[in-house]
Amino acid sequence: MLTGPNPQAFYAPEQILSVLGSILILLAYFLTVVKPEKKSLYFPISFFGGGALLVVAVIYRNPGLIMLEVAWMVINAWGLWKVLRKAFHAAA
């Protein structure tokens, strides 16, 4: 028998983590659009948001979301590495 959504399920730790991860990713994207000159600062925000969603995807055993979040984190890590490498070479 279906009784409707469990109101306490929204406050489960993994649901809170998924909302926080989504907020971080959306915040990083918004800031990239609004202030693109500081985009290097947004890679870590997006990376950790993806990490939060990856944890939730693993908890729920969602292979499509796992693949998406791993790719998201790799892309952000690569972008951050490029920015840091460029800054290191400019300082040298």
Q: What is the domain extent for residue 58?
A: 14-91
Residue 37 lies in a domain: yes
Residue 47 lies in a domain: yes
> How many domains does the chain fold into?
1
More confident site: 63 or 89: 63
pLDDT tens profile 4-60: 556 666 678 999 999 999 999 999 999 999 998 888 889 999 999 999 999 999 999
Please indicate, yes or no, if residue 83 is contained in any of the structural domains.
yes
d(CA 82, CA 89) in angstroms, rounded, equals: 11
Residue 10, pLDDT score: 64
Inside any domain, residue 53 = yes
* Domain-embedded: residue 1: no
Indicate the pTM of the whole model: 0.82
pLDDT at residue 39, rounded to an integer: 80
Answer yes or no: are the C-beta atoms of 46 and 13 closer than 8 Å: no
